[in-house]
Amino acid sequence: MLYALGGFVALKSLNLLALAVASAVAAVAPSVPAATRGSDPLPLTLVAGGAVLDPVVAGDLVYIPSGRIVSTWDYSNPAAPRRLAATGETPTDGAIRGLTRWGDYLYASWQAGDDSGGVAVYSLRNPQRPELVNQFSDYAEPSYKSLWTLAAANGYLYLFDNENGIYYGDLAPDPLHPSFTRLLRTPVPYERSSVAGDRLFASGTTNSAEPLHACIVLDVTDPGAPVFSSAGCGGGDSLELFRSRIQLPLSVAYGLKLSLFDVSDPSQTTVLGAIDTPPAMDGFVAGDHAYSLGFAGIDIHDISDPLAPVTVGHSTLPTLGASSVTALGQGALLLTSTDRFTQLDVTDPLHPAAVGTATPLGGAVANDVAIVGDKAVILQENYGLGIADRRTLEPLARFDADLPEALNQRAIEQFAVDGDRAYLAAWGYGLVIADLSNPAQPVELGKLEYFYPSAVAANGDFVYLGTSTNGGVMQVVDVSDPAHPVARGALNVTTINRMQVHGHVVYAADELSGVHVFDVSNPDAPVEVGLWNDGCTDTLGMSAYDIDLNADGTLAAVACGTGLHLLDLSQPQAPVRVGGYTIDYWTARPTAAIHGDRAWFADAQGLLEFDIGTPASPIQVGAATTMAYIQPRRLRATDDGRLFAFAYGTGMHVFGTAADGEPTDRIFADGFDAAAPSESISTYDDLDEGFLGQSYTYNGVTYGEVNGIGGVFPDGSTFEPIDVGDELVVENAAILYPDFPDFGSAPNALTFGTTYIGGENFSIGALVRVKMDLAQPADSASFDLAFYENGPWGGIELHLDAYRNGALVGGDQLTIANGGGRDNVTTATLSISGVEFDQLKFYATYDGQPSAPRVMIDDLTLTPAR
């Protein structure tokens, strides 16, 4: 990978040959080790995260492709978007490159690392949970494919293959596997496409010596006979115009320029105005303004005169790593590789606002994981650390390293966790130290500027940085005062890919030399005391790419160009190969891991597991597990019994289950054919009318934190806690039910406040807030509401929020009607489904401040999570 820094080009990896020819090398069957046990591959439990692409929006549902999966999000409340489902148990056969919808199906284009490509078909019989129902790759005869975007229009599916051409097929005869016809062959990798009426727009960059940005138009009025429009939709230099977005009547291109084109007339495209802008990855139009999203925020341009656009403002909202921008209403949905899914509102054109931000499971560019207490700490290349639930991997928090707003100055490929600290190697900046003593809230302790570190190891008061850019260095850093880390001694080597430390010995995998052994007992004068390379170097001269140590530092697993090597480290200065697994094909950048009596080796051909109870005679366990034939960057075996594989672009792959015996995918907990858990309904009818106190447990729900705060009413008046009371109240509301037969179950309801009137009447109390802790997690909840509307209550919002382990995971809300006149009684329902939660919070607000409408609830219905 090449990055331009400070006017010169820094070479991040020396292995250019490996990167250049990796996709062109055909696989050859590996040699079989001394023994093989079993034939099944490793159990792939979950695939999560990966590179984010343009979503499909269907009402309140948003389908987001990332890596090898599609996730469904509910945006009915933009301030609290909810992830409803993901297809992580059924990944596609390659990295998804595009997503489209027609009728009751989603179609995803995918490309694998073995140069195969195809289409995945998802059924939307349950729109909230797309189901993978087919995959096919025979749309074109050649086996070599380079499939990019796809689009559905007028009942046909259009595929854009950079190698074989543009194809189209009728979905009516067989929506699961249509037949395709080639329209023409084209050398342009069209990476984005969209449909507007009878026109299909696709854009990308040519592969010519002087790349050009291209934007084409297909007339699909007759979808079985698509016709190219000679007008196109705007093109130019690939740097000046990076990405095109179609928002009729305009085509807008973003990059180093903002360029406007009028495409309202299908027969011609009119070039409008253009202005130079700061670098932008994407953008959108809302009204008379265009918004270009760059590395340090949003630049705002007045396009009321499209012939003379003018830059009129800038917003510092974080947009670094903008991967996709989809115009929605008076704003846009922004998806970034820094794991921010942000709903933007530009109702005030010069002051964009972030309505709500969500975090995807797994992350866009995850590189490693460490288990710290009950949290999974996931290394995220573009910003720092993602904090997740150890078992479910649900996002809980994040740590954003204080680094420049540029991806190349971050590039955090590796980290080391030692004790309660994490040490992050940011390639374009240096060392970042984070405190994990409270893993749910990491805090930055200090930084050290040190260019191009790509490897890191840590032990006690010392951290060891390794570089491979412009020559290799092993640098000792004193972190005894983490706020002021100090560089101590250093050694020059050819290159360093990965490092491990045990005691005062550092081992470094060098892709050009083998495994270096450094004695660092004197931090000011480290010494190389050994170099191992016993059969590690392959025929292309490539050597050790990765190294991992067992817990006591006596055995190492080394990934070389020739396969897996197990090294006895009982004499650290003289490692001895005691066993391994030799491959007889060329491979690029393999990775390895070791834990207990198991070792793993992975490259683009797949992942292999070995029983190393006898290191001299490793036994292959099961068959190879492929990960879309895409090279994983890191393997990590954790103490809870799982193996994680991280692949650039295709996300985090999880093998096995957590040590507590509960699978990461909870569906397996009950078995495929287990009965669905029965719901519980709290009717309150078996309770006596009266006060329950400030806290009460009933039917598996503990109610508490009732009211206890002041607030405002819509007329501007205020109230104090004493005015609304803090008691739970069972109210005999029998008089209400005949008038509202669909509400709850007679005679009792639950209300709140400071008083009630006994008997079959209707005394309804004040609600400011109430918390409900569940004895066991649930995945759906609902209850009926009776409340006053109009009068003094109009405009108050009632909220129901769901939490899991303290993190907001879903919600529902309604706004009380404001019809004027006298207040009157009405009923409604609030509900949450599709997420797992262990706590509910029910509360009222007006204009963002607490309020206190008169409310009662009945028939709280909970469905236990599987």
Residue 726 and residue 765: Cα distance in Å, rounded? 10
In the DSSP assignment, the letter for residue 678 is P
pLDDT of residue 665: 38
pLDDT of residue 667: 32
pLDDT of residue 828: 94
pLDDT of residue 663: 39
Torsion sign (Cα): 486, 489, 495, 500: negative
**Mean pLDDT per 10-residue segment, the chain (866 residues):** 30 36 34 49 90 95 97 92 93 97 97 96 94 96 94 98 96 96 90 95 86 92 92 85 93 95 93 95 96 94 97 94 92 95 96 93 96 94 95 93 86 95 95 94 95 95 96 96 97 96 97 96 97 92 95 96 96 96 90 96 95 95 91 94 94 85 37 54 92 91 94 93 94 91 93 89 92 92 94 93 88 90 90 91 95 96 87
pTM: 0.75
Torsion sign (Cα): 50, 52, 57, 59: positive
Phi, psi of 549 (to 5 degrees): -110, 150
**How many CA atoms lie less than 13 Å away from 280 in the CB half-sphere?**
32
Cβ–Cβ contacts within 10 Å for residue 686, how many?
10
In the DSSP assignment, the letter for residue 806 is T
Residue 747 and residue 856: Cα distance in Å, rounded? 13
pLDDT of residue 866: 67
pLDDT of residue 668: 32
**Could you write out the DSSP letters of every residue in 599-622?**
EEEEETTEEEEEE-SSTTS-EEEE
pLDDT of residue 677: 57
Structure tokens at 464: 């060891």
Residue 260 and residue 3: Cα distance in Å, rounded? 30
pLDDT of residue 595: 96
Torsion sign (Cα): 16, 19, 24, 27: positive
152-155-158 Cα angle (round to 5) = 35
Helix (H, G, I), strand (E, B) or coil at 19: helix
pLDDT of residue 238: 79
- Nearest Cα neighbor of 753 from 692, 813, 702 is 692
- Nearest Cα neighbor of 49 from 362, 299, 278, 482 is 362
Distance of CA 395 to the CA centre of its chain: 9
CB 150 within 8 A of CB 171: no
CB 636 within 8 A of CB 656: no
pLDDT of residue 761: 84
Residue 8 and residue 4: Cα distance in Å, rounded? 6
Cβ–Cβ contacts within 10 Å for residue 117, how many?
27
Strand partners, 313: 300
Residue 602 and residue 624: Cα distance in Å, rounded? 9
Strand partners, 120: 108, 135
pLDDT of residue 31: 38
Residue 746 makes CB contacts below 8 A (sequence gap 6+) with 685, 733, 734, 737
